[in-house]
Amino acid sequence: MIAQWLREKLSTAVNPASWFIDWIRGEPVTSGVSVTEQTALCYSAVWAATVFVSSAIASLPCLLFRAIAADDRGREVDDWRYGLLKSRPNPEQDSFIFWQEQAMYLVNSGNCYAEKSYFPTGRVAELWPLPPNRVKPYRDGPGGPVRYEITSETGAKRYADRADVLHVTGQLADDGIVGRGVIRQARESIGLGIATERYGGSFFGNSAVPGGVLEHPGKYNEKAEKNLREGWERMHRGPDKGSRTAVLFEGAKFSSIGIDNDDAQFLQTRQHNVTEIARWYGLPPHILADLTRGTFSNIEQQDLEVVKYCLRFWLVRLERALGHQLLGPEEKDLYWEFLLDAFLRGDTATRTAAFVQQFLNGAMTLNEWRRAENRNRIPGEDGDRHFVPLNLVPLDRAGQGRGGRRLRPDGADRGQRPAPGGPAPGQAPDGKAKEEEDEEEQRSRSAARAVVADACARMERIEANALRRAARHPESFLRKWEEFAAGHRDLAASAILPGLAVWLAARGVTGDPALFAAMEALARVTRLTAAVLRAAECRPEELIARVDALLESPEFTWSIWKGLDEEV
């Protein structure tokens, strides 16, 4: 028994142990440092990129959906696999820790593995992560099935079939089984970064001045030479002793023979190293705190590129692997999906603008909106009804006129044909002439429009002042505008509400005037925010001029009548 354990523990050329493989891979690169998956994480840029990608993936809910007829779908919350990946893959890890670990292995090592444990019924009960350096995929004979050799911490080996291991293959696998990891492929770039950091530490730790030579015209014995060198280093070596005044006696002089940091382009090299690591991970440099090419106006676009050009690729790879290995071939209507909407949780303005557009175009209901915001449903049927932009009436009443009458395309509904027992054409129910009623209604509408126009003008002045103040501080321009816009919506809604209520009543439009006012104010702030973002696409010194141009442009003028002033 002991002899067998020793044979498994020993590393041979035919059956090398994982520690031996790591040692071989850890051979120093050109820059002279050893790069392994562990040492690479000590480099700040690699650590930041790894934490960002793995945490971003882990923060997204992984949900199981079932496709329904007519392009609908629903969450399979009662399926036994739903909670396995959404909540608790195994008793020791929640879903975030599990996916963060798996994503780190997938990106850095090129593969991630999780061993399945089963209930007596044959269903998967738990998923246990396996470090990639302890798993060796291989084919069991020419053209045979893929199997896995798993090495424990003690060196004992065991074997598992493909069906018992959840294996996600990383980028550019030569055989379609074992992927390539960033650490292995980027060893030279990472080694250069680590070497640069070590050089910086050595520079500040050894001497505030690069290496040089002490020259003395006389002869020194060994003891005097030692005393001179130790005395010089004691006075001038170390980060706290730089730029001290040196006093040399008996004709001694100091000659610098090192290369200073400017000549060695030390800072530029360190900055380039961060950009290089960002390139390997497919991330914009500002994610790794490199803002040399980032401005307050292009950071938002780069954030979108993170999702489109980095995370999306990994998420699709995971979704396909989960569907292939955790769903049966007969379950074609089931699929896994990471919800990217979770990235908008911290971006209130963008999330709200997206929901507003969907709500105003009848694509979502109020209850769907509230559900996405983790809020309770609105009681009654109105919360599940779809609305359209024209006066925000329910969709099934979009073609009706005042009082619930449905308009006819030939115009016959405009009082040309009297109802049985009703007033004659051109005569109001109370006997007043139709023309007089229309004239009175027109005066009420005109007065209400003037009140709303005055309120809009006041809001425009407030918005212009806020933009001009924010433009004086380009570094915080967008943040200041977002803070202003968050509170401005309620102010604008309350300002236009009185006049809008009168105008709606004069038009005979039913509905809550406060809702109309709130939606118009929100639409105004959303459109203006989009214009502000476009204006911010400039250099800091150009921002004030861009803001002034926006304030003079037609898109800054607030008119709420484009949709509301159409004849119903």
Give the pLDDT confidence score for residue 402 in this predicted structure.
45
One-letter amino acid of 474: P
User: Which SS3 state, helix, strand or coil, does residue 519 take?
Assistant: helix
User: Which SS3 state, helix, strand or coil, does residue 116 take?
Assistant: strand
Count CB atoms within 10 A of the CB of residue 48: 19
Give the pLDDT confidence score for residue 444 in this predicted structure.
67
Give the pLDDT confidence score for residue 236 in this predicted structure.
64
pLDDT bin (cut points 50, 70, 90) of residue 527 is: confident
pTM of the predicted protein model: 0.58
Q: What is the DSSP letter of 323?
A: H
Is residue 328 pLDDT above 80, yes or no?
A: yes
Q: CA nearest 191: which of 25, 47, 28, 24?
A: 28
Is residue 426 pLDDT above 60, yes or no?
A: no
One-letter amino acid of 327: L
Give the C-alpha separation, 277 to 299, whole Å: 19
Measured over the CA atoms of residue 285, residue 286, residue 290 and residue 291, the dihedral's sign is positive
Q: Kindly tell me the burial class for residue 105, based on how many C-beta atoms sit within 10 Å of its own C-beta (0-12, 13-18, 19 or more).
A: buried
Tokens 């932009």 -> residue: 389
Is residue 8 pLDDT above 60, yes or no?
A: no
Give the C-alpha separation, 107 to 191, whole Å: 18
Is residue 307 pLDDT above 90, yes or no?
A: no
Poorest-pLDDT segment among 5-14, 115-124, 136-145, 405-414: 405-414
Summarised one tens digit per residue, pLDDT across range 126-165 is: 999 999 999 999 998 888 899 999 999 888 999 999 999 9
Structure tokens at 145: 């099935």
Q: CA nearest 561: which of 454, 449, 462?
A: 449
Mean per-residue pLDDT of the chain: 77
Give the pLDDT confidence score for residue 309 in this predicted structure.
81
Give the pLDDT confidence score for residue 125 in this predicted structure.
92
Output the CA–CA distances (angstroms, integers) from residue 259 to 109, 192, 243, in the order listed.
38, 18, 17
Is residue 106 pLDDT above 90, yes or no?
A: yes
Give the pLDDT confidence score for residue 208 in this predicted structure.
44
Is residue 509 pLDDT above 60, yes or no?
A: yes
Show me where the domains of the chain are located: 212-257, 348-418+432-564
